[in-house]
Amino acid sequence: MASSGYSAPPPPVFSGEGYSIWSVKMKAYLKAFDLWEVTETGRQPGPLREDPTLAQLKAHSEECAKGFKALSCIHSAVSDVIFTRIMACETAKQAWDRLKEEFHGSESSKQMSVLNLRREFEVLKMKESETLKEYTDRLMSVVNKIRLLGGFHSVHKGRLTHSNMSVAVTKYLWGSKLTKKECVTGMKIISQLKHRNLLQLVGWCHEEGKFLLVYELLPNGSLDSHLFGNRTHLTCDMRYRITHGLASALVYLHEGLEQRLVHGDVKSSNIMLDSNFNAKLCDFGLARFMNQELVRQNAGLAEAEGYMAPEYISTGEANKESDVYGFGLVALEIATGRRVLDPIEDRPEMSLVEWVWDHYRNRTLGLAVDRRLNMDFDEKQMECLMIVGLWCAQPDHGSRPSIRQAIHVLNFDALLPNLPIN
C-alpha cells in the first residue's frame, strides 16, 4: 500500500468503544490509500477488453487487489475480540457493514436518534445563569452529535399535488442589514432566472425573517454523490457534458443578466444532475440577500473543503474570479474522481491541484484520470478538462481566464493555454 521508502502509519484500532470516532478516522485512513470506494461499495472492476495493453492489465490487477488490501486493513484495525465478529466476512464491505450494524445501531435506531437530537436542538434555550459561550458550546455539542450520525440536513423532500412534481424545500434567513423589501426584490430576481443548467426555483415564501425556497428535485442527486459515493458510474462523455453545463450556467450568471450575479459557492455538492445527467447549478445568487452569519459559516465550510479562492479567504468577498476558481477545482474533481482535499495515496503531502500540476509538468496527465473509467476515455477531452481546471484554479486571480474563455477551450474553439511549468 505504500511506495518505496515510505512507511505507512498503522491504522486506528477499534476495541469495541468509540465506534463513531474510529469509523471517521478509519474512513480517512482507507481514503489515503485509495481503498475507501471498494470498502463502501464492494464494487469490483469490470472485465478487461479484448487484447488489453500492458498498462490496462496492470491497472486491472491493481483494482482487483484493492478488495483484499481493504479487508486486510480492517482486520489489522480491530482488536482480537472484535476480529472474531468479522472473521467470516469475505469482503471489506461485508466487514465494514457488520461493524456498522453492530456498533453503530440499525438504521431505524439511528434515524430515531437523529430525530431526538434535532428536537433537542430546536428547543434548546439559553439559561439565565450561563454565558453566551456556554450556550453556544451546548448547541455545538448537539450539532456535532447529529453530524456524527449523518443527519444534519436542511433540505426536505416533498411533492406538489397539482403537478405531481417532486420538489426539495430548503430554509434560509435573510440578512439583518437588508430590509424585507430588498430581500423580496432579490428573491423575485432569482426566481426569474431561466437557464437549462440552473436548478429551477419553483416557488418561495417568506415569514418572520425566513425564506422557504422550493426547487425541482432531480432524480440523480448531486454530482459529488456520483464522483465520490456509490451512485451511478459517470462515463467520460457524461463528465465532459457536466463540466460544459456548469460553465454555461456561470457564463449566464456572470454575463447574461442585466444585474449580474456571482455564485460564491461553486462546488460539486451544489451541482445537481437530471435524469439525463445534465448539470443543474443550485444555490445561485443567494449570498447577497441572506443572513451574513450564515454566509460566513458557508464560506468557512467552503474553505475547510478546499473550494475557496485565496483572495476570497483574505477579503471575504466573492467575485467572478472566485467562481472561476471553484469551477476549476470541480473540473479537476470530475476528471480525476478525487476530492480537492483527499490525500493522494502515494503522495500524501500533495493537494489535488498540486498533484495534477505535477502530472502536467511530466506530461503524464493520462495517469491522473479517474481509474474507475478503466482506461475507457477520450484522451483529448480529459487532457482539456484538466488543463482548463488548472488554468482556472491558479492562486493568482489575475492569471485566471474568464468563464467564457474557459468554455471556448472546452468547445475546442480555442487552443489549450500554455500554463507556466513552475
The residue extents of the domains of the chain are 19-46+53-103, 107-148, 223-410
**Tens of pLDDT, residues 318-333:** 889 999 999 999 999 9
Residues 5-20, mean pLDDT to the nearest whole number: 75
Residues 160-176, mean pLDDT to the nearest whole number: 61
Of 258, 259, 286, 260, give the one whose Cα is nearest residue 199.
286
Residues 384-410, mean pLDDT to the nearest whole number: 96
Confidence tier at 408 by pLDDT (50, 70, 90): very high
Query: DSSP character for 373?
Result: G
What mean pLDDT, rounded, does the chain reach?
80
Residue 89, Cβ neighbours under 10 Å: how many?
A: 17
Query: Does pLDDT of 22 surpass 80?
Result: yes
**Ramachandran angles phi, psi of 22, nearest 5°:** -60, -40
Q: Which residue has the higher pLDDT, 237 or 160?
A: 237
CA distance 337 to 335: 6
Confidence tier at 274 by pLDDT (50, 70, 90): very high
Confidence tier at 122 by pLDDT (50, 70, 90): low
Per the CB < 8 A criterion, the answer to whether 277 and 220 are in contact is yes
Of 207, 197, 364, give the one whose Cα is nearest residue 284.
197
Query: Does pLDDT of 212 surpass 80?
Result: no
The pLDDT of residue 112 is: 66
Query: Does pLDDT of 239 surpass 90?
Result: yes
User: Given this structure, which CATH class describes domain 223-410?
Assistant: mainly alpha
**Tens of pLDDT, residues 44-102:** 777 777 777 887 788 778 888 888 999 999 999 999 888 988 999 999 999 999 898 88
**Tens of pLDDT, residues 126-159:** 677 877 667 666 766 776 666 566 554 456 566 6
Query: Does pLDDT of 25 surpass 90?
Result: no
Catalytic residue positions, numbered: 265
Residue 203: partners with Cβ closer than 8 Å, 6 or more residues away: 191, 214
The pLDDT of residue 156 is: 57
This prediction's pTM: 0.62
Query: Does pLDDT of 411 surpass 90?
Result: yes
Distance between the two ends of the chain, CA-based, in angstroms?
30
Confidence tier at 4 by pLDDT (50, 70, 90): very low
Residues 183-210, mean pLDDT to the nearest whole number: 78
